[in-house]
Amino acid sequence: MHRTFEEYKRSETTIPDWPTGLQSKNDQSLFNAVMADLEEIDRLKEAELSEQKAKNVTVNITFQ
Protein backbone atom coordinates (compact mmCIF):
# COMPACT_ATOMS: atom_id res chain seq x y z
CA MET A 1 0.00 0.00 0.00
CA HIS A 2 2.57 2.56 1.12
CA ARG A 3 6.16 2.61 -0.02
CA THR A 4 8.92 1.16 2.13
CA PHE A 5 11.94 3.23 3.11
CA GLU A 6 14.03 1.55 0.41
CA GLU A 7 11.35 2.17 -2.24
CA TYR A 8 11.18 5.80 -1.17
CA LYS A 9 14.95 6.21 -1.50
CA ARG A 10 14.89 4.62 -4.98
CA SER A 11 11.91 6.56 -6.26
CA GLU A 12 12.14 9.50 -8.63
CA THR A 13 9.36 11.38 -6.89
CA THR A 14 9.58 12.98 -3.49
CA ILE A 15 7.10 13.61 -0.74
CA PRO A 16 6.57 17.38 -0.42
CA ASP A 17 8.32 18.89 2.61
CA TRP A 18 10.06 15.59 3.31
CA PRO A 19 13.69 16.00 4.45
CA THR A 20 16.22 15.11 1.78
CA GLY A 21 18.93 12.52 2.25
CA LEU A 22 17.16 10.01 4.47
CA GLN A 23 20.12 7.84 5.35
CA SER A 24 20.67 7.69 9.08
CA LYS A 25 19.02 5.14 11.35
CA ASN A 26 16.97 7.94 12.92
CA ASP A 27 15.70 9.02 9.51
CA GLN A 28 14.73 5.45 8.67
CA SER A 29 13.02 5.06 12.06
CA LEU A 30 11.13 8.30 11.51
CA PHE A 31 10.14 7.24 8.01
CA ASN A 32 8.94 3.85 9.30
CA ALA A 33 6.94 5.53 12.06
CA VAL A 34 5.27 7.86 9.55
CA MET A 35 4.46 4.93 7.25
CA ALA A 36 3.02 2.97 10.19
CA ASP A 37 0.85 5.98 11.05
CA LEU A 38 -0.35 6.18 7.44
CA GLU A 39 -1.21 2.47 7.48
CA GLU A 40 -3.14 2.98 10.74
CA ILE A 41 -5.00 5.95 9.23
CA ASP A 42 -5.93 3.82 6.21
CA ARG A 43 -7.13 1.03 8.50
CA LEU A 44 -9.23 3.44 10.56
CA LYS A 45 -10.72 5.02 7.43
CA GLU A 46 -11.70 1.58 6.13
CA ALA A 47 -13.23 0.63 9.47
CA GLU A 48 -15.15 3.92 9.56
CA LEU A 49 -16.35 3.39 5.99
CA SER A 50 -17.50 -0.15 6.83
CA GLU A 51 -19.31 1.14 9.90
CA GLN A 52 -20.95 3.88 7.84
CA LYS A 53 -22.07 1.34 5.24
CA ALA A 54 -23.56 -0.81 7.99
CA LYS A 55 -25.50 2.18 9.31
CA ASN A 56 -26.83 2.95 5.82
CA VAL A 57 -28.53 -0.42 5.50
CA THR A 58 -32.30 -0.01 5.52
CA VAL A 59 -34.85 -2.71 6.08
CA ASN A 60 -38.18 -2.58 4.31
CA ILE A 61 -40.98 -4.51 5.98
CA THR A 62 -44.35 -4.80 4.31
CA PHE A 63 -47.44 -6.07 6.09
CA GLN A 64 -50.09 -7.93 4.13
The residue segments making up the domain with residue 26 are: 21-57
The confidence score (pLDDT) of residue 44 equals: 92
Number of domains in the chain: 1
* Structure confidence by residue, pLDDT tens digits, 2-31: 667 677 666 655 555 555 555 566 777 888
* Structure confidence by residue, pLDDT tens digits, 26-58: 777 888 888 899 999 999 999 998 888 877 777
Decide if 42 is inside a domain. yes
- Among residues 8, 58, 53, the alpha carbon closest in space to that of 31 is found at 8
Helices (H), 1-64: 5-10, 25-55
Distance of alpha carbon 29 from alpha carbon 5, whole angstroms = 9
Judge if pTM exceeds 0.75: no
Decide if 38 is inside a domain. yes
